[in-house]
Amino acid sequence: MKIILVRHAETEEGKARIVLGHLPGHLSSKGVEQAKALALQLKDEPIDVIFSSDLERAADTARQVAKFHPDVPLHFVEGLRERYLGDLQGTKKEGLVWHEYAGLEYEHDDALFARARRFLEKIASEYPDGTVLVVAHHDINNALTAVIRGRAARDVRDMGRQENCGVRVFEGKVF
């Protein structure tokens, strides 16, 4: 199995340092160009299926890639959404740090990790020898990466920063 894990393109909200979480997000003009460049980068990649978060910023990125793969199924999956951040969604990022989230409603690493594992179990059973493109978000991609690398939920935040339209490729056994 081959998994191509992509983060969505730049958003207007990201430029403004607004916390999105489950909010849709809108690609910026730079983001549209990033998504088109990603599509060109992946145009000759043999892809069996595309899964995308159902949030607008990821879905619009995935649609750009899908233009070069018109016969490849494209599925929008709620389970690939970014980490839920409750009341923080729609607020400015300035000054926010994880240890200050105590008492606030948000999706904890254990829940995010479990969600990532469920998704990977599903695609591993359905596409064991396939090439799967996944277009999602920073935190859920880090959770997916942690599962694939055999790490624990506590390691989700240690998987590194994935830039907009950044690509991670994993081949072989998923977990």
Lowest-pLDDT range of 17-21, 33-37, 131-135: 17-21
Q: What is the arithmetic mean of pLDDT over 119-124? A: 97
Higher-scoring residue by pLDDT: 5, 106? 5
pLDDT of residue 92: 87
Taking 80 as the threshold, does the pLDDT of residue 174 lie above it? no
**Which residue, 26, 1, 32, is CA-closest to 12?**
26
CA-CA distances (angstroms) from residue 105 to 21, 89, 90, 100, 115? 12, 11, 14, 12, 17
Taking 90 as the threshold, does the pLDDT of residue 86 lie above it? no
Write out the CATH class of domain 2-171.
Answer: alpha beta
Of 10, 13, 69, 82, which one is the catalytic site residue? 82
pLDDT of residue 98: 55
- Cα gap 40→47, rounded to integer Å: 13
Active site residue 8: yes
User: pTM for this one?
Assistant: 0.94
Taking 90 as the threshold, does the pLDDT of residue 104 lie above it? no
The residue to which tokens 């907009």 are assigned: 164
- Cα gap 45→57, rounded to integer Å: 22
Of 8, 22, 69, 138, which one is the catalytic site residue? 8
Question: Are 49 and 29 in contact, with CB atoms under 8 Å apart?
Answer: no
Residue ranges of domains in the chain: 2-171
DSSP structure string for 42-62: HTTS--SEEEEESSHHHHHHH
pLDDT of residue 96: 64
Higher-scoring residue by pLDDT: 88, 168? 168
**Which residue, 33, 31, 38, is CA-closest to 15?**
31
